[in-house]
Amino acid sequence: MRTELALKKRFADDFKIGAAVNPLTIVSQQELLTHHFNSITAENEMKFISVHPQEEVYTFEAADELARFARSNGMAMRGHTLVWHNQTPDWLFEDRQGQPVDQAELLKRLRSHIQTVVGRYKQDIYAWDVVNEVIADEGGELLRPSRWLDIAGPDFIGKAFEYAHEADPEALLFYNDYNESDPLKRDKIYALVKSLRERGVPIHGIGLQAHWNLYDPVLDDIRAAIEKYASLGLQLQLTELDMSVFRFEDRREGLTVPEPGMLERQAERYEAVFKLLKEYRDVISSVTFWGAADDYTWLDGFPVPGRKNWPFLFDERHRPKPAFDRIQTLS
């Protein structure tokens, strides 16, 4: 008989264990989710375009359903996300003639959106990804070009945190980004968050998306990122962990089962990563996977159409993979 512990029990003294979910997976993965996880994040259902597709129209059915799922199963919930350059409707940036609005109008709309959404989930959501992915990946620019930046200038970032704090003073507010362990981007994220802190902006944590793969980022870079972010005196959360079996540059097509050795390598990698995360349990308060089991991942077909991926601890039939076994036996 297998004697393994549920993940949430295994890491009960370390951090919460979360999964991104959607209205389909809370049904198809219900047993797995409620057994192993004690936190959820809505994969898409709380993004701007999902909840606020038109100025006068809010659509909360799917988001409410996920919040109910968390509540009825005693799970924590993270909110994702309030300000992003993707999955954000055009109307937000335009007047009725289709002309760009000015800074004051955009900030007014943002405040009203945040008041409504954060206010609605006050009882359910303990932590929000307030601002997502505003740092530029390449080059010397700090911020990524976006309509937010064009219209409002960099102020929209601090304002979003202020509005979220106003809407729910109890919520923990996070800045969230990917490539977070890359040294160049790490230093930019650090610089942004440091300047927010120095200006007294209410921010409580940094979310490391952790879209990783079998090879990258290397452990030393992950460690250095954790140390640097933690030096700001904030808490850290892994918000979107997956361990792709492909290097990011790998554009091979047509693999329908993992190659020999892939899942063993993944197991070693997960073991090394969780060992490291446990070292930092005092600063890392939650580890959320961007899904739960290999039957559904956003990485299927991304960035190579039709290509399957196997990034999680559970297989397509929700059985524990070698990676699950390896992190069970960590001391």
Which residues contribute to the site for ligand XIL (CB under 6 A)? 43-44, 132, 178, 209, 240, 298
Q: How far is the CB of 178 from ligand XIL (least distance, A)?
A: 6
Rounded distance between C-alpha atoms, residue 5 and residue 8, angstroms? 8
Q: What token pair was written down for 210?
A: 């952790």
103-120 vs 155-167: helix crossing angle, rounded to 10: 30
- Is the Cβ of residue 132 or residue 235 nearer to ligand XIL in the bound state? 132
- Is the Cβ of residue 43 or residue 271 nearer to ligand XIL in the bound state? 43
Q: How far is the CB of 158 from ligand XIL (least distance, A)?
A: 20
Q: Which residues are catalytic?
A: 133, 240
Q: What token pair was written down for 172?
A: 């923990």
Q: How far is the CB of 311 from ligand XIL (least distance, A)?
A: 12
Name residues whose C-beta falls within 8 Å of residue 105's C-beta, 6 or more positions apart in sequence: 95
How long is the chain?
Answer: 331
- Is the Cβ of residue 14 or residue 43 nearer to ligand XIL in the bound state? 43
- Residue in this structure with the two tokens 């760009």, named with its chain if needed: 100
Partners of 78 in beta bridges: 41, 127
- Is the Cβ of residue 82 or residue 234 nearer to ligand XIL in the bound state? 82
Cα diameter, the chain = 67
Determine how many CB atoms are found less than 10 A away from the CB of residue 85.
14
- Is the Cβ of residue 44 or residue 115 nearer to ligand XIL in the bound state? 44
Q: How far is the CB of 290 from ligand XIL (least distance, A)?
A: 6
* Segments in the chain forming alpha helices (H): 7-10, 25-28, 30-36, 48-51, 61-72, 103-120, 147-152, 155-167, 183-198, 219-230, 262-279, 322-328
CA distances from 92 to 42, 104, 221 (A): 22, 12, 37
Amino acid letter for position 331: S
Q: How far is the CB of 43 from ligand XIL (least distance, A)?
A: 5
- Report yes or no: 26 and 33 within 8 Å, Cβ to Cβ: yes
- Is the Cβ of residue 258 or residue 291 nearer to ligand XIL in the bound state? 291
10 Å CB burial of residue 140 (0-12, 13-18, 19+) is exposed
